[in-house]
């Protein structure tokens, strides 16, 4: 009996270890290993050939294996103001886009959470419905809407609100429109998941204590929905920092964001070490808000 019990305990521990090891194995294969490969390319020297960079492990004439690390790409990132401006512009665009998604998505999520239960699934379906079409097609559709002879300008001209077409396409505002349109569901869904779990009794208690609806929202609903706000902002901010398609199609040549600069270095300039250094720097830049969010979530969980 004791032997059978010990075997069952050992098998249970082994099963728990396997379950715990799977996420770490996933991170090792699809995050750490690719990151190390990109970091290795970033520390190599540009060369003419395929691939267009020199190996960091080299044999000398004396048959001695040496490691040659080139930090010139990272030095260029710090010295050249063009790359710093691209990073700062990407952070600004991503931050404003996350704020706009929050301003638009919070009322939508609140309305869905307060809707009758038999209507919530339909409303959520309408939120995720754009994902059923191609991302590229959805972005290109905005070209037909925002261009000088597009739908929006034609509508404004027909209503007599403007006398000549407005310059809407290839502007920073068009980039914001595209990002908000494409990433809005990433803000609505976590907000809805948080707001739907709020107990309406708390608002009733606030009303009984004399709090008006707006004050009850500020003191009860808004603080309790902060996990959803943080999750939604991270889900929008992180991919928006490295966004390439939307600035390329809607922003025009002036939209020199980090993702576009990385694409130019990789495909046009064929400077793989510089492109890899840009990717590593962008990843390190994103680790800070991710770590802050996880720390805040862990703190709230302990509380």
Per the document, the length of the chain is 303
Task: Please list, in sequence order, all residues whose beta carbon lies within 8 angstroms of the beta carbon of residue 251, skipping any fewer than 6 positions away.
Answer: 170, 171, 172, 174, 175, 257
Q: Examine residue 109 and state whether it is found in any structural domain, yes or no.
A: yes
Q: Give the pLDDT of residue 297.
A: 66
pTM: 0.86
Task: Please list, in sequence order, all residues whose beta carbon lies within 8 angstroms of the beta carbon of residue 85, skipping any fewer than 6 positions away.
Answer: 256
Q: Examine residue 124 and state whether it is found in any structural domain, yes or no.
A: yes
Q: Examine residue 209 and state whether it is found in any structural domain, yes or no.
A: yes
> Which residue ranges of the chain lie beneath pLDDT 50?
1
Contact criterion met (CB below 8 Å) for 259 and 242: yes
pLDDT digits (tens, 9 = 90+) for 162-187: 889 999 999 999 999 999 999 999 99
CATH of the domain at 104: 1.10.3720.10
Q: Examine residue 126 and state whether it is found in any structural domain, yes or no.
A: yes
Q: Domains in the chain: how many in total?
A: 1
pLDDT digits (tens, 9 = 90+) for 64-120: 888 888 999 999 998 888 999 999 999 999 999 999 999 999 999 999 999 998 899
Q: Examine residue 224 and state whether it is found in any structural domain, yes or no.
A: yes
Q: Give the pLDDT of residue 1.
A: 46
Residue 184 CA to residue 49 CA, distance in Å, equals: 43
Q: Examine residue 58 and state whether it is found in any structural domain, yes or no.
A: no
Q: Give the pLDDT of residue 300.
A: 65
């Amino acid at each position: 009996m004791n032997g059978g019990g010990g075997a069952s305990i050992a098998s249970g521990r082994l099963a728990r270890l396997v379950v715990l090891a799977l996420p770490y194995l996933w991170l090792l294969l699809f995050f750490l290993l690719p990151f190390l490969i990109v970091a290795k390319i970033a520390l190599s020297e540009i060369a003419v050939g395929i691939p267009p960079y020199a190996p960091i492990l080299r044999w000398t004439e004396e048959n001695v294996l040496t490691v040659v690390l080139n930090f010139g790409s990272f030095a260029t990132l710090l010295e050249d103001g063009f790359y710093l401006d691209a990073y700062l512009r990407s952070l600004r665009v991503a931050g404003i886009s996350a704020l706009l998604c929050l301003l638009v998505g919070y009322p939508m999520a609140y309305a869905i959470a307060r809707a009758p239960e038999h209507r919530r699934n339909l409303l959520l379906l309408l939120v995720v419905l754009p994902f059923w079409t191609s991302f590229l097609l959805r972005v290109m559709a905005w070209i037909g809407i925002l261009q000088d002879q597009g739908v929006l300008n034609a509508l404004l001209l027909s209503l007599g609100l403007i006398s000549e077409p407005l310059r809407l396409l290839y502007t920073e505002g068009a980039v914001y429109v595209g990002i908000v349109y494409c990433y809005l569901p990433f803000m609505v869904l976590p907000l809805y998941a948080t707001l739907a779990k709020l107990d309406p009794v708390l608002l009733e208690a606030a009303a009984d204590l004399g709090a008006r609806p707006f004050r009850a929202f500020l003191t009860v609903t808004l603080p309790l929905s902060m996990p959803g706000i943080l999750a939604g902002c991270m889900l929008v901010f992180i991919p928006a920092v490295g966004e390439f398609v939307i600035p390329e199609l809607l922003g025009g040549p002036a939209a020199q964001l980090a993702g576009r600069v990385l694409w130019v270095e990789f495909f046009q300039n064929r400077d793989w070490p510089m492109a890899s250094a840009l990717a590593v720097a962008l990843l390190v830049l994103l680790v800070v808000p991710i770590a802050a969010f996880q720390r805040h979530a862990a703190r709230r969980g302990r509380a």
